[in-house]
Amino acid sequence: MGSWGELSAGPFTLFFFKDMVPNDLVCLFQDEMYSPSIGRASTRYVLGGEPDHDVEFFEYKATGRLIADRLDILGFDIDSALEVLRQSIGENLDSPPWFEGMGRIDPESVKRWEAEQAALAELDTDRWLKAIASAAATQSKAVFEPPDQEPVIGSRKWLLELIPDETENAGWHRLRLVTHAAPDIEVILDVSDLVHGGWLVKDELDTMPSVAQEWWTAESSARSPIVVLTEGSTDAEFLRAGLKLLYPHLTDLVRFLDPRARSEGSAGALVNTVKAFAAAGIRNRIVAAFDDDGAASDVLKQLKAVALPPNIVLMQFPAVPISDYLVAQLPPLGSQHRPTGDRSNARISGCIEMYLGSDTIRGDDNVTLLMDLTFHHRDPGHYEARFADKRSKKKVQENYRRKVRIAEARGGPLPHQDWTAMATVLKRIISAHKTAS
């Protein structure tokens, strides 16, 4: 008979597999998401006349929100999934009756087809997502739908099967849609039966995701981790620390070039690295992250004449809102560097230190700035920040490292810490290829 495993999200069973677990499904999880437990056999299996007993369960668990983030990086983003759903609803609605031309027709088949067409006519992607969210909140796997029978119109099985199995990556699109509709849903990869059947080794389960990730990276550059190139070693250090704290579930899918691999740190050096990667035919997805300052803008012009492959994307750190405590540092109103008094949409950008949080560039009195800023007007409402001396810059870096150590010791970012700008930069990096396409 063999042994079976499954991947489910709340009440939705999305993948079945027999005698082996597909590496691509394992790659959805991290080693830290392995969650073995002991429970009663009756909660999973039909015992017949056998007495109930304790049994070990071997599972990987994560919230839908974390799995959605990982799916995005692995190439199954929500926009693509929604487009597949939109097309599938339209094709189901426009398709002729399956019984057309069959001679004698069962009245019940006609009745079902008409009811299904009426339901599809009222359905769009938003209503589909709301129905999935409702099912996730109100149903459990105990609401059983026989696999070999036509699903009840409007049921969770009917909704999922609107994307037919023949659709390329159907299961992945279904999973991405479910995690979008119900981000707090629990996604579980259950391999218990495969362990009990001898198909998997219990002692290897705690590292199975990282081993599977190595395989998938070798098999497909499109699924390989994103490699981030930065101007300097501190940029990589600070971004890596921010990723670990803000997006710990993505640390195996976003990697930063070892700063020791480059002897020089500057925008010009980063341009040379990008050219070298392009010439070498590196297939990994590459994001080259530049400071948003004049120096980086000047050297980026050199790359305009270079035909970069689509796997290499260039970006500059995004402009972020000017905090209230920096308003006093703005150039005088009416000067050539500040022609307008409207600060509602004012933005600021610069080097990585400008994104480490307001709590890193303020003194102990929460007011005194630990850096002198010179604002250079680029366009109305956009200012570039520069350090006036290296000592202030070093102090900001020390503050950030201390903030990171405190957050790591407490198990994550603390409520009073400011990570807003860092999160903005990391989101830009994570979505860089999608934005560029």
From CA 22, how far away is CA 16, in angstroms rounded? Answer: 10
Residue 321 forms beta bridges with which residues? 347
- Sorting pLDDT into bands at 50, 70 and 90, what band is 178? very high
pLDDT value, residue 374: 59
Instruction: Specify whether the CB–CB gap between 18 and 162 falls below 8 A.
Output: no
pLDDT in tens, 298-343: 788 877 777 888 889 999 888 777 766 566 566 555 554 444 445 5
Q: What is the pLDDT of residues 232-284, one digit of tens each?
A: 889 999 999 999 999 999 999 999 986 555 555 688 888 888 888 888 888 78
User: What's the pTM?
Assistant: 0.80
- Give the position of tokens 């070498």: 280
For residue 401 the two structure tokens come to: 């490292």
Indicate the residue type of 137. A
- Tell me the pLDDT tens digit for each residue of 127-164: 999 999 999 998 776 544 555 577 888 889 999 999 99
Q: What is the DSSP string of 169-205?
A: THHHHHHHHHHHH-TTPEEEEE-HHHHHTTSS-GGGG
When pLDDT is averaged across residues 69-75 and rounded to a whole number, the result is 91
* Contact yes or no for 433/72 (Cβ under 8 A): no
> What pLDDT, on the 0 to 100 scale, is given for residue 256?
92
- Tell me the β-bridge partners of 9: 12, 187
Is the torsion defined by CA of 166, 167, 169, 170 positive or negative?
negative
Euclidean distance between CA atoms 417 and 398, whole angstroms:
15
